Amino acid sequence: MILYFSSTGNCKYAAERIAARTGDQVMSITDAWQSENFSIRPEKGESLGFVLPTYFGVLPTIVTEFLEKAELRLTEGSYVYTVDTYGFHYGNVAAELAKILRRKTGREQDADFLLQSVDNWVPNFDLTDETYVQSALDKADELLSGIIEGIVQKKRVRVKGEWPAPMLLMMKKAYKKASQTKNFTVNDSCVGCGQCAAQCPTRAITMTEGRPVWSKANCTLCLGCLHVCPKNAIAYTKATVGHGQYYNPKTTR
């Protein structure tokens, strides 16, 4: 079983490639969250993989909340691993997941793999730079091939958190502040298609009189709404204007 959370396709693509090699079932955390399917019970000896992105160096809030509600059951012989995708800093995602697993199942994961890919945090990265995007995709493909072989061989490698506790606390506070939906705006090119609301994993967007309205104070900050908009009408602060949109071209939404 492979659980993944993906808004711009990097984790989805990685999960699909792993599954193609291992034959494991793939489950979207977004789909499971929205359908309230919190049962994670691998069969005896079945591997359990988590393919997750790094937000501000920590787990996305939807992932943390899903795992806290999940009915996690690990059988004897289960190989548990994480694949952490990131653009610049990988942070403490693996360490955070280890704490949750230890508390809920009495054990941590057996392996952590780091997958550097396209950094689609548009406030800082210009995704209209096709050379950067293609170079990052090519590098990620090469890294992923090695990761997949490590998973097949059930390698046991662990990654320490990148930051000490004070830095981690600071990043968590920064993530919470940044996830305030008041940071989103919509310009007049919006056609009211509703794609932003449909893709929002935490259902923080509602359509009101043909316009998207962020109806929750905070979201998980995946920026999927920005990247999916066919008119590029959504901005997350002025820093994202003109920085383009992204979805991994090697998978589908």
What's the token pair of residue 57?
């160096």
Same CATH topology for 2-165 and 181-238?
no
User: Cα–Cα distance between 112 and 78 in angstroms, integer?
Assistant: 15
Domain boundaries, the chain: 2-165, 181-238
pLDDT at position 75? 82
Tell which residue, 231, 249, 232, 251, has the closest CA to residue 241.
232
Specify the 3-state DSSP secondary structure of 184: strand
Low-confidence stretches of the chain (pLDDT beneath 50):
none
Specify the CATH number for 2-165; select among 3.40.50.12780, 3.40.50.150, 3.40.50.360, 3.40.50.300. 3.40.50.360
The reported pTM is 0.96
Q: Are 118 and 9 in contact (CB under 8 A)?
A: no
Specify the CATH number for 181-238; select among 3.30.420.40, 1.10.1060.10, 3.90.1260.10, 3.30.70.20. 3.30.70.20
Q: Helix (H) and strand (E) counts for the chain? A: 8, 11
DSSP 183: G
Q: Are 221 and 179 in contact (CB under 8 A)?
A: yes
Name the β-bridge partners of 188. Answer: none
The tens digit of pLDDT for each residue in 85-127 reads 999 899 999 999 999 999 999 999 999 999 999 999 999 999 9
Query: Residue 146: what are its φ and ψ, rounded to 5°?
Result: -65, -40
pLDDT at position 77? 84
